[in-house]
């Protein structure tokens, strides 16, 4: 399955209700699973973003739907990147002309 990295920041609503954060994370994991995806890693981080998520999803469309579902809750803003594993990287480079 394709891998994705999401950088997320709390909105004002999200930080005002931070005590509900762990429950929101569990709901996000359930949303991923219900769509055949997996939220593999979650990190609270310092710096420009508040959270980093590593996920797998069947395809870009599924990941886009998940980003919209989670974004619609209004507690975070996200930026998601398609990530290529080392194995995929090596194959891509090997296929270059």
Tens of pLDDT, residue by residue over 17-46, are 999 999 999 999 999 999 999 999 999 999
- Domains of the chain and any CATH numbers: 3-94 (3.30.70.920)
pLDDT of residue 15: 96
CA dist 72 and 78 (Å) reads 11
User: Tens of pLDDT along 64-93?
Assistant: 999 999 999 999 999 999 999 999 999 999
Two tokens, residue 51: 């959270």
Q: What are the two backbone dihedrals, phi and then psi, of residue 36, each rounded to the nearest 5 degrees? A: 75, 20
Task: Report the mean per-residue pLDDT for the chain.
Answer: 97
CA distances 29 to 41, 69, 75, Å, are 10, 12, 15
User: Tens of pLDDT along 51-61?
Assistant: 999 999 999 99
Nearest to 44 by CA among 36, 55, 53, 34: 53
Gap between the terminal Cα atoms of the chain: 26
pTM score, whole prediction: 0.91
């Amino acid at each position: 399955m394709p891998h994705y990295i999401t950088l997320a920041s709390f909105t004002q609503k999200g930080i005002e209700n931070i005590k509900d954060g762990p429950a929101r994370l569990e709901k996000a994991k359930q949303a991923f699973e219900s769509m055949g995806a997996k939220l593999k890693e979650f990190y609270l981080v310092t710096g420009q973003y508040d959270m980093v998520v590593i996920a797998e999803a069947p395809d870009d469309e599924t990941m886009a739907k998940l980003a919209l579902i989670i974004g619609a809750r209004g507690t975070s803003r996200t930026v998601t990147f398609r990530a290529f594993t080392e194995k995929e990287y090596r194959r891509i480079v090997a296929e270059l002309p």
